[in-house]
Structure 1
Amino acid sequence: MQSGFIRGLSWLGGPILWIALLVVDGATEATSDSAVEINLVQNRLAVNGYDPVAYFTDGVPVPGRPALEHEVGGAVYRFASEENRRRFMSDPQRFTPAYGGFCAYGVRAGRKLPADPMAWRIVDGRLFLLLNPGTKTIWELNLGENIVSADAIWPKILTLTDAELQSRVP
């Protein structure tokens, strides 16, 4: 039986939706240091090693430098400049991605999927990362509704791993 969410997206066509939601390149791991799972890659890197501040200041993803790191809640953030690192340190919540850096559309679907730092959008001062550019396109079709739904779902899943979430799917 399909969930209401999947039935509601049937107009997109099954193959397109499943490709967008399930194609994942790169491995991810997660941490539960602060009871909230954060999307991390090797060496506990958040945002795949990209500078989270640069999305706001430069308007593009910029790789961070290993020499410019700062750790928050078990996640290591990298920065392109010392100025960006200082900005982040003064207000980490402002710059950290929504939903622990997991794919915003995946959270909307009750999952914790990895995110591509090149598939992103800032909405109302919040950084959202998405699985891939195709998923970003689908997510943006109902942007406001998807954010409201994901915001409601996130508190219910934030301490669960994606494996736990996936095992709950009928």
Structure 2
Amino acid sequence: MKSIKSIFLLGVALFAMIGAQAQIDPVDKNGLAIGGYDVVAYFSGAAQKGSKSYTAKHNGATYYFASKANRDAFTKAPSNYLPQFDGYCAWGVAAKDTKFPINPETFDIVDGKLYLFYNGPFDGKTLDTSLDWGQRTTELKKAAHAKWPTVKNSK
């Protein structure tokens, strides 16, 4: 009985680890933004899943929030909370001139703006693009903002 319970718990742990490293598009095929994460909560220092109970639509995407207060803050001033580069990986825009998907649990707030990053498997290893971003924030931030108008219109 203990071995079945241990195997089950190991499976749950592995599933959680895989899920935590899942890369998503900023807006999925159903119109859900940032994998259902609360874009307002990031500004409190936490990547937090939102709830279907607190939603708001913006530019055709549906955003989930962890609380009514967060939803209300967003609806009053969405531009204060929306991630940069339409939610694509900031490092991908800056360093690779492309749109990478993101891991919604990997983020940075710089000068009051939200930046999201790819953090997951790549060539048999884990690539956390926020690490390079953290070492070269000023340089990469400047490059990303300069490149975004061109990258935005690319496929």
Under a length normalisation based on structure 2, what TM-score does the superposition of the two structures give? 0.77
2:154 aligned residue (145, 155, 160): 160
1:49 aligns with 2:36: yes
What is aligned with 1:120? 107
What is aligned with 1:106? 92
Q: Which amino acid aligns with 2:75?
A: M
Alpha-carbon distance in 2 for matches of 1:105, 1:26: 14
Q: Which amino acid aligns with 2:45?
A: G
The CA deviation at 1:83 is 0.5
SS of equivalent residue, structure 1 residue 144 = helix
Give the superposed CA RMSD: 1.5
What is aligned with 1:146? 140
Alpha-carbon distance in 2 for matches of 1:143, 1:123: 9
Deviations along 1:57-113, one digit per CA (max 9) or x if unpaired, are: x31011000121111111111100011000000000010000000000011121101
Identity of aligned residues (%): 35
Q: Are the equivalent residues in 1 in contact too, given 2:23–2:103 (CA < 8 A)?
A: no
SS of equivalent residue, structure 1 residue 43 = coil
What is aligned with 1:79? 65
Under a length normalisation based on structure 1, what TM-score does the superposition of the two structures give? 0.70
- Uncovered stretches (5+) of structure 1, i.e. residues with no partner: 1-23, 29-38, 162-170
The CA deviation at 1:26 is 4.1
The CA deviation at 1:114 is 0.6
Alpha-carbon distance in 1 for matches of 2:48, 2:24: 20
SS of equivalent residue, structure 1 residue 44 = coil
Q: Larger deviation: 96-105 or 151-160? A: 151-160
Q: Which amino acid aligns with 1:145?
A: E
The CA deviation at 1:48 is 1.2
What is aligned with 1:130? 117
The aligned length equals 127
What is aligned with 2:10? none
